[in-house]
Amino acid sequence: MSESEVVETKGSNPLPYASHERYARARALMHKPIEAARIAGFSETSGASSKVERRRDVQARIAWLTRQPEETIAEKRMELEAYLWRALRYDPMIFWDGSRLRDWAEIDPDDRTLIEGLMFTEKGKPNLRVTSRLAAHIELRKMLGGDAPAKIAQTDPSGDHAAPLAPVINLSGRPEAA
């Protein structure tokens, strides 16, 4: 594709005003509108954040700056899933050498990511906190759809035919219309 054939998408070009561009970039980095306005150089009391935020060109620029191709999303999902599987299946002995905590240099860097904290007891013994297996299991079930509700059709006792609708009980005392 030559340079003359390049298709410009909405928001792909920098905004004409540098302050609007700084605002859009700050918003793309998840700053609140007031913080983004301050970063862009607007006065906090001017109301510029709401004025700039409503502009279509600024909205398009923020959307373009925060876009993520499908490949990136899939790659992040695979990385997250691999971490959760590692958290679910790790062997606690990878952190210990007998009754002593291993030296950090001896622990694989991927395994060190499982460590959430290290505290010491009053007697000076290490108390290592690692990623919860239960939490990893719950997140994996969510990712893989294991916690989705099962769709069960109501059937008669034989299982062959749809169950009849439950009769509606008229408690009003008024006669039912036929």
Domain range for 110: 71-144
Model confidence pLDDT, tens digit, residues 67-119? 877 777 788 889 999 999 999 999 989 999 988 899 988 999 889 999 999 99
* pLDDT band (50, 70, 90) for residue 178: low
CA distance 49 to 33: 6
Tell me the sheet residues that pair with 155: 162
Domains contained in the chain, number: 2
The pTM of the full predicted model, rounded to 2 decimals, is 0.51
81 and 136 fall within a common domain: yes
Of 43, 65, 87, which closes a domain?
Answer: 65
59 and 76 fall within a common domain: no
- State mean pLDDT over 164-177: 68
83 and 129 fall within a common domain: yes
Confirm whether 112 is domain-assigned: yes
Confirm whether 131 is domain-assigned: yes
Any residues with CB less than 8 A from the CB of 123 and at least 6 apart, and which? none
14 and 60 fall within a common domain: yes
| Residue 28 reports pLDDT greater than 90 | no
52 and 78 fall within a common domain: no
In this structure, which long-range contacts are made by residues 78-84, counting pairs with CB atoms below 8 Å and at least 24 apart in sequence?
80/143, 81/140, 81/143, 83/113, 84/136, 84/139, 84/140, 84/143
Confirm whether 156 is domain-assigned: no
114 and 138 fall within a common domain: yes
Three-state secondary-structure class, residue 32: coil
50 and 95 fall within a common domain: no
